[in-house]
């Protein structure tokens, strides 16, 4: 059974969530949200999923404050973050592009990203667009730093970066990404050409594992209707479900 590029990303992210007890997904994140629900459906142990845009999968009643409290108490295993820009040290920019404060383009802002980046044990960076415009040598504004100086408390931080071209792991000690796999049709050279920062290479770089036919079927029959409850346009575009 063939799969869409979005289903490959969902499957790849879901594999990273195996063994988690609590996965949280923030705003405007349909692919991470679908991945969390897929991981929950396949989990052999109890897994709790919090999706802020969902009534069904969000137990909190006071917006994001309760999620921030849970993260600060160490009760969130994995969270997803993206950014207008992401650089080679895993710094993310959610504020805008250009010289601050006179930005060329302004975006919604950092909100809870700095707290979650420090408090959550594992953060997976996700950016569907993989280009020199989004993956830059140095972000224009640091909304949340990928690493911290010695003596600064940090429960976790970035562990991986997943894009529409490849999968990277992040080495906090060296403050560098390492290319782990490339998606079908990509090569390490094509990924490097589309990336604004330098990165390391693992000894053998293979192709990102495609979802099995059974997993694709589960996504379309079981997960897609759940996603449609809170990401209607995404479900309509990817799976043809009525919005």
Mean pLDDT of 177-193: 98
Side by side, the strands of the sheet bearing 176-182 are 48-51, 22-25, 78-81, 122-127, 158-163, 166-171, 176-182, 200-207
- pLDDT for 189 equals 98
Ordered by where they begin, the domains of the chain are: 5-239 (3.40.1080.10)
Torsion of CA 161, 164, 166, 167, to 10 degrees: 30
- pLDDT for 199 equals 98
Asked if pLDDT for residue 222 goes beyond 90, the answer is: yes
Tokens standing for residue 224: 């897609």
- CA angle (81 as vertex; 111, 188 as ends), nearest 5: 145
Mean pLDDT of 114-131: 97
Mean pLDDT of 197-220: 97
Per the model's pLDDT, the better-predicted residue between 194 and 156 turns out to be 194
112 in Cβ contact with 79 (< 8 Å)? no
In sign, the C-alpha dihedral spanning 58, 62, 64, 66 is negative
Per the model's pLDDT, the better-predicted residue between 62 and 31 turns out to be 31
186 in Cβ contact with 174 (< 8 Å)? no
**How many helical (H) and strand (E) elements, i.e. helices and strands, does the chain have?**
8, 13
Tokens standing for residue 189: 């050279």
169 in Cβ contact with 160 (< 8 Å)? yes
- pLDDT for 62 equals 78
Tokens standing for residue 75: 């009760």
- pLDDT for 243 equals 55
pLDDT confidence band for 164 (50 / 70 / 90): very high
Mean pLDDT of 128-146: 97
Return mean pLDDT, the chain.
95
Q: What Rg value do the Cα atoms of the chain yield, rounded?
A: 17
pLDDT confidence band for 20 (50 / 70 / 90): very high
């Amino acid at each position: 059974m063939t799969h869409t590029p979005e289903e490959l990303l969902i499957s790849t992210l879901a594999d990273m969530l195996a063994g988690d007890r609590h996965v949280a997904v923030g705003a405007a994140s349909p692919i991470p949200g679908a991945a969390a629900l897929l991981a929950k459906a396949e989990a052999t142990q109890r897994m709790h999923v919090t999706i802020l845009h969902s009534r069904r999968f969000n137990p909190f009643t006071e917006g994001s404050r309760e999620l921030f409290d849970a993260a600060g108490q160490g009760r969130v295993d994995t969270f997803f973050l993206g950014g207008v820009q992401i650089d080679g040290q895993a710094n993310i920019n959610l504020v805008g592009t250009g010289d601050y404060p006179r930005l060329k383009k302004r975006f919604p802002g950092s909100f809870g990203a700095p707290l979650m980046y420090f408090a959550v044990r594992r953060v997976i960076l996700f950016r569907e667009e993989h280009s020199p415009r989004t993956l830059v040598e140095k972000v224009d504004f640091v909304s949340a730093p990928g690493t911290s100086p010695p003596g600064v408390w940090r429960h976790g931080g970035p562990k991986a970066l997943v894009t529409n071209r490849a999968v990277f792991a992040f080495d906090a000690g060296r403050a560098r990404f390492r290319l782990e796999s490339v998606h079908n049709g990509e090569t390490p050279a094509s990924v490097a050409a589309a990336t604004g920062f330098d990165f390391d290479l693992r000894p053998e770089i293979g192709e990102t594992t495609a979802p099995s036919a059974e997993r694709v079927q589960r996504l379309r029959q079981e997960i897609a209707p759940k996603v449609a409850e809170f990401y209607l346009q995404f479900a309509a575009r990817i799976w043809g479900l009525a919005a």
